[in-house]
Amino acid sequence: MELTTNTIHCGDNLEELSKLPDNSIDLIYADPPFFSNKHYEIIWNDGAELRAFEDRWQGGINNYVKWMRQRLFECHRVLKDTGSMYLHCDWHANAHLRIQMDNIFGVNNYADEIIWSYSKVGGTTKKLLKWHETIYRYTKNYKQSIFNVDAIRIPYSKATLKGATKGEDGKLYYHRGLGKDASVKRLKSTPINPAGRLLGDVWHMGDYAAPKGERIGYPTQKPEALLKRIIEASSNKGNIVLDPFCGCGTTISVAHQLGRKWIGIDVSPTACRMMGRRLSKIGAEVNIVNMPETIEHLKALAPFNFQGWVVDKINGTHNNKKSGDMGIDGWTILKHEPIQVKQSENVGRNFIDNFETAIRRASHTYGEIYAFSFAKGAYEEAARAELKDGITIKLINISELLTDSEMKPIEKQRILV
């Protein structure tokens, strides 16, 4: 089975992971959607994301764990014997996920429980503030796993360096007292490593949010510094890094900057396009595969997925109300004018009439309807609305989105950004 790197896979990661060869990945970082609250997890507001959320949540925590376990098995399968998997989770399900990782990877291949500590605005008077998340590191084979301890050393404290002395060998040493009653004569000398001191498993790395210069509007975006430490610790240049819950693309962006090959997976077409733009800005050649690309494919999509694809394709804004949207599915990018999407052929007069009402209710005089085809009556009603009521309704065939020179299908092509 051929493995293509520097690629973003659009789709359910269980299916996309199944396409990867056994023992082919050097490092996996997984930051799955937490078992937290519904509205927070729906980041991109497109149909694929909504459907994936429903799959995870129906049945509560047990269904979430089952959903995760299937994907963890696939991650274990594709990982090399020298590889590590970092699983990022919070208090909602970390105990459940730790048990699954023990069962799948084996307790002997457990390596670290990293506490990522951060500062975060917010407060409560009922319980302690939650200022950390957990990252588990498991290996495929503990004894063979890559771990570059010197790559992630951190600077010594000023006090340690100030008290250091040079030994006869020309190296610097710092001194530690032995026991409570340690005297100057009972000091242990330890050489100072030029790369810094060893790193512990509690990582305090500033604020929860990514630094201002990195932010792209993704609320759960992680700082690049966090991923840099993980990637440098457990992979070498030229190795393959996989993120099966790629989100906004921080993992693959940092991997590229560090000279690693990479693969990202996300269910949201909106996310995949955004990641493609992010990677292209740092000079990466990006392939995005499995994006909706033919009329047949689009007809087979779930309604919300289809609606999300259309709105994203025209760079519009999604209507956050997925029900009770009053006939408006989104808004155009420049003038924020109403959009309606119909996954139908021969859309008739009544749909145009209803959309005219929605446009008027939104205090606009222009709107766009997207469908596979329109009946004669639809064109007649659109003409009448413009002539008699001063409301322009543009009827746009979905095929136009696939044939426009700037919106061609991108399967097996470099992404157009």
User: Residue 41 has what pLDDT?
Assistant: 54
59-63, 182-186, 381-385, 404-408 — which is least confidently predicted?
A: 404-408
Largest separation between any pair of C-alpha atoms in the chain? 100
- Asked if 77 and 164 count as a contact pair (C-beta separation under 8 A), the reply is no
Q: Who's near 223: CB < 8 A, 6+ residues apart?
A: 205, 206, 207, 209, 210, 211, 214, 250
- What are 231-243's pLDDT values in tens digits? 999 999 999 999 9
- Mean pLDDT value across the chain: 85
User: Residue 40 has what pLDDT?
Assistant: 44
Residue 46 binned pLDDT confidence (cut-offs 50, 70, 90): low
Residue 22 binned pLDDT confidence (cut-offs 50, 70, 90): very high
Domains recognised in the chain with CATH numbers: 7-145+202-289 (3.40.50.150), 158-191 (no CATH), 295-403 (3.40.1350)
Element (H, E) at 158: helix 158-162
Using CA atoms, how far apart are residues 230 and 247, in angstroms rounded to an integer?
Answer: 17
Confidence check: pLDDT of 53 > 60:
no
At 106 the three-state DSSP class reads coil
pTM, to two decimals: 0.75
Q: Who's near 227: CB < 8 A, 6+ residues apart?
A: 29, 250, 251, 254, 255
- What are 251-275's pLDDT values in tens digits? 999 999 999 999 999 988 778 888 9
